[in-house]
Structure 1
Amino acid sequence: MGSEHEYPLCVTCQTALSIHPTTDTATTQTCFVCLGVFQKETFAKRLKDAIRTMVEPYRQFVKFSSDNNTINLPGDLIYRLARCGNRKACADYTQRLKQYGKDTLHECLKRIELDYATSEILDSFPSCVKDEQQGHLSVAVVVLPTVKRPSLDTSHQNKSRKKRKRRTYEEVSQGGDPRENLEQRIEQQGKVVWSINSSTQPVEGAWDPPKDEALTDVEIHVAVWRRPFYVKSCYTKTRRDVSQTPFVVVDAGVTRKRGVTSVEEQIVPILTQHVGGISTSNNNEDSNLVYGKCKFHASGREDMDVKMLLPSEPNSDITGRPFVCEVTDALEMPLPTVTLPKIVRGINDGDESPSHRSYGTNPLGVGIAPELAFCPSSSYKNLQTETEDKVKYYGCYCWSAKPVTQEILNKFTALFPLKIQQATPIRVLHRRSNIKRTRYVLSYQATVIDEHHFQLQISTTAGTYVKEFVHSDLGRTIPSMASLLGCHTDLLELDCEGIQMSPHVVADSLEQS
């Protein structure tokens, strides 16, 4: 390779090469082996500046996770050391590089946190946010030498760009990984990502540049993203043309959307707006997978033509339908006492308090409870599981083929709580397996409207198909109101009038049967 005086070497690399460190080593020149990585003051400052640039869009809350930050240093450094004549020191040198990289990254992140003075803001968040590091930032760093790599074939990338479709709501789904996407973006620039963590084989042209090229530098690539945080509340909807999630159907090859809006579309955009938006810096432009997203998840669902209301008589144990939103890679964290109430007012059209039967006064019929709050990640994961123990209250506007009287309806009261067997309804057989389920109608109250119409107030265990309980679904639900009345019966309108997440209510009702 040549003598140690032919190329500038830092003190660390001289020691690794068993060369007695000299005081006259040019400190203004970049080390030929480590390419300046071990020249701490310069490298640490560049690293901090590169991270700060990527952190800048993330406002209000800058706290880094303790276990999700990575730095990949180039594998070139190992082979440069070996090229200089000390292959035996490579293993130790590799470990020193890895530890040095981690320590330098940790130190840089710590300094950035101090500059943003986040301690007071952090203290305002509940323990579930701090314990799970919700909303903390994560960092991935890839350090590459400024070397001409073998050129990559990017013709397929250019071709895909020409054919790339404009993203739509339906086409975009969450996926990808910020680290992988960072490497893909680097490779799309014609650069090879080769780190001491990923390979033991040198890349062609990695450490033997042309004599006339001054290869004495590295470039730093950074990805920063915010970890998910979770907020929960309950919602109501007062219209029969609003679905829970966007309702898209394909009719004769034409995709169209049903309903005027959805609960998700009334909640998610406002929440996204008040967190400063979702970052797009970690997406790969050639993919319809996005990293950041606000995901809406509710405890069960009602059909589009079913209202979701509060009970007619105020009851603190009975609420609207619980939901949780998972927000990934938001630019801001909503402050508990400042931002969350603004989100509620935005969704409820300026009205935070519930009315007689619903939350807020949104003209599109969607409102959420004022108790919007942070929650543990388990609330999102277990939301559907927890629905098995809930009690649901319904108001049914029914029609009977035979005339009914109050006396006829009252005689069924003694049958409740009523155990029923329900086969999968015909209307959902295309998406659910055909099995029989045991369900309970816990309470019953019926009121005659006229000789062919009556109002039914019932409460049921989770998973009960109320429409089928009324009309029997061609005998697939036994017993049903149709079988009790001995005639064709139909449900004209259905309202869910609150949900009670109380297992003891189910148990107490069944014990009385």
Structure 2
Amino acid sequence: MSESTGKTVDYRKPELTVIVNPFTGRVRVQVNPLYIMGRYRKMVRGIPQSKWICTKCRGRGCPKCNWTGKMYPESVEELIAGPVLRFTQGEDTSFHSAGREDVDARMLGDGRPFIIEVKKPKRRRIDLTALEEAINEEAEGKIEVSGLHLVGKDMVRRLKRMEGAEKIYRVIVEFERAISDGEIDRIKRTFTNTKIAQRTPLRVLHRRADRVREKYIYETDVKRLAQNRVEMRIRCQGGLYVKELVTGDEGRTRPSVSEVVKAKATPLELDVLDIIME
């Protein structure tokens, strides 16, 4: 086969595998996935990272989802997968990433590392620069991808381990009353070089185990925007629930910003500014 195709065999990472049943004589060709890695930036709010199947009809279509089968019309995954499938002529894709941001949060900075796995691609030699341009053009400013390159399957496992990477967040917080300069200083001091105990937030309790997780905050800076509004920049361990850090989540996150100033605090806007990869 190597002679007839003029290709060099790679036994460690084959692009396709020929499976022969010696008893029946049946031959099956298994096309192995193609893995494309890069980073994405999400420039707008209101887009989930992955396709979100309607919780009522489970994708069949109903009035709740306007017969689309989805909770949101598009996702980061779908905006990337469309051009990828067209370029590779693959059958389907799976999306892997180093963590995820909330639907209403932007992903800025250098972007979040991701891998898109292409199932049964007919084309493996593709122009990744042209693919990158196609994704960005068709996304119309909603997302941007960069640094596309081919990787092996082992990189998916390494990517999953990056979920705990250090992150920098920006959150706009509004209080129910005016806060003093002293209270702003107290927020800075309380949330610098400290551990936060977070019980699984109520908003994700339906899909996450109910347990307490400890996350470390390295540094917090606070800038006043109005008498009752501030901008917080938080450098922390990956996996910290920032919204709950602000609200306290009915006592499930301690300490919280609300607890420190003894006033209700509401996160208005949340952005991921950077993911620090070692």
Q: TM-score, normalised by structure 2?
A: 0.88
Matched, 1:446 2:222: yes
After superposition, the C-alpha distances for 1:338-382 in whole angstroms (9 at most, x for unaligned) are x111111111118xxxxxxxxxxx42511111x211123211123
Q: 1:71 maps to which residue?
A: none
State which of 71, 78, 91 in structure 2 corresponds to 1:258. Answer: 71
Q: What residue in structure 2 maps to residue 486 of structure 1?
A: 262
In structure 2, C-alpha distance between the alignment counterparts of 1:226 and 1:251, rounded to whole Å: 35
State which of 83, 98, 108 in structure 2 corresponds to 1:309. 108
Offset, 1:412: 3.2
The number of equivalent residue pairs is: 269
| Counterpart secondary structure, 2:55 | strand
Task: List per-residue Cα deviations over 1:294-348 (Å, max 9, x = no partner).
Answer: 21111111111111111xxxxxxxx31111122232001134xxx1111111111
Segments of structure 1 that go 5 or more residues without pairing to the other structure are: 1-108, 123-129, 142-194, 199-219, 279-291, 311-318, 351-361, 503-513
Q: Map of 1:388-403 to 2, 5 A cutoff?
A: 388=164, 390-403=165-178
Structure 1 contact 325–380 (Cα < 8 Å) conserved: no
- Matching of residue 341 in structure 1 with residue 220 in structure 2: no
Whole-Å separation in 2 of the counterparts to 1:258 and 1:334: 35
Partner Cα separation in structure 1 for residue 269 and residue 170 of structure 2: 8
Same amino acid, percent of matched pairs:
26
Shift, 1:131, TM fit: 7.2
The 1-side partners of 2:141 and 2:50 are apart by 14
Name the CA distance, whole Å, in 2 between partners of 1:293 and 1:252: 22
Any idea what SS the aligned residue of 1:372 has?
strand
* Map of 1:197 onto structure 2: 23
Aligned to 2:199: 423
Whether the aligned pair in 2 keeps the contact of 1:404 and 1:448 (CA below 8 Å) is no
Distance in structure 2 (CA, Å) of the matches to 1:131 and 1:345: 33
The Cα RMSD (Å) is 2.3
| Bigger proportion of residues as helix | 1
**Residue of structure 2 equivalent to 1:268:** 81
Structure 2: how far apart are the matches of 1:446 and 1:431?
A: 32
Give, in whole Å, the separation in 1 of the partners of 2:254 and 2:145. 36
Q: Which has the higher contact order (CA 8 A, sep 6+)?
A: 2
Q: Tell me the SS of whatever aligns to 1:331.
A: coil
Alignment deviations for residues 417-476 of structure 1 (CA, whole Å, 9 cap, x no partner): 121100110111111111111111211111111111111111110111100000000111
- Aligned partner letter, 2:18: V
- Give the counterpart letter for 1:411 in structure 2: R
1:138 counterpart residue number: 17
Q: Which residue of structure 2 lines up, in the alignment, with residue 298 of structure 1?
A: 97
TM-fit CA distance, 1:385: 2.0
Secondary structure in 1 matching 2:137: coil
d(CA) in 1 for partners of 2:76, 2:57: 27
Offset from partner CA, 1:269-290 (integer Å, 9 cap, x none): 2111111x12xxxxxxxxxxxx
* Secondary structure of residue in 1 paired with 2:82: helix
Deviation readout 1:2-49 (Å, 9 max, x if unpaired): xxxxxxxxxxxxxxxxxxxxxxxxxxxxxxxxxxxxxxxxxxxxxxxx
| Displacement of 1:196 | 5.4
Query: Which residue matches 2:187?
Result: 412
1:480–1:331 distance in 2 versus 1, CA, 3 Å? same
Q: Check the 8 A contact 1:422/1:476 in 2, yes or no.
A: yes
Where does residue 92 of structure 1 map in the other structure? none
1:363 to 112, 122, 140: 140
State the alpha-carbon separation in 1 of the partners of residues 228 and 213 from structure 2: 30
The alignment status of 1:432 with 2:208, answered yes or no, reads: yes
Contact 2:35–2:152 (CA<8 Å) still a contact in 1? Answer: yes
Q: What letter is aligned with 2:140?
A: P
For the residue of structure 2 that corresponds to 1:492, the secondary structure is strand
| In structure 1, distance between residues paired with 2:181 and 2:38 | 39
Q: Distance in 2 between matches of 1:467 and 1:455?
A: 13
Q: Alignment partner of 1:303: what SS?
A: coil
* Preserved CA contact (<8 Å) 1:228 1:326: yes
Q: Distance in 2 between matches of 1:232 and 1:436?
A: 33
CA–CA distance in structure 2, aligned partners of residues 250 and 376 of structure 1:
34
**2:180 alignment partner AA:** T
> 1:229 offset after TM fit, Å?
2.5
SS at match of 2:54: strand
Unaligned runs of 5+ in 2: none
**Equivalent-residue separation in structure 2 for 1:425 and 1:196 (angstroms):** 55
- Which of 135, 154, 163 is matched with 1:378 structurally? 154
The aligned amino acid for 1:423 is R
Supply the AA of the counterpart residue of 2:92.
K
For 2:23, the aligned partner's letter is N
Q: Among 113, 119, 122, which residue is 1:328 paired with?
A: 119
Q: Is the 8 A contact 2:196 2:253 kept in 1?
A: yes
Give the counterpart of 2:42 among 237, 253, 256: 237
> Secondary structure of 2:267's match?
strand
The structure richer in strand per residue is 2
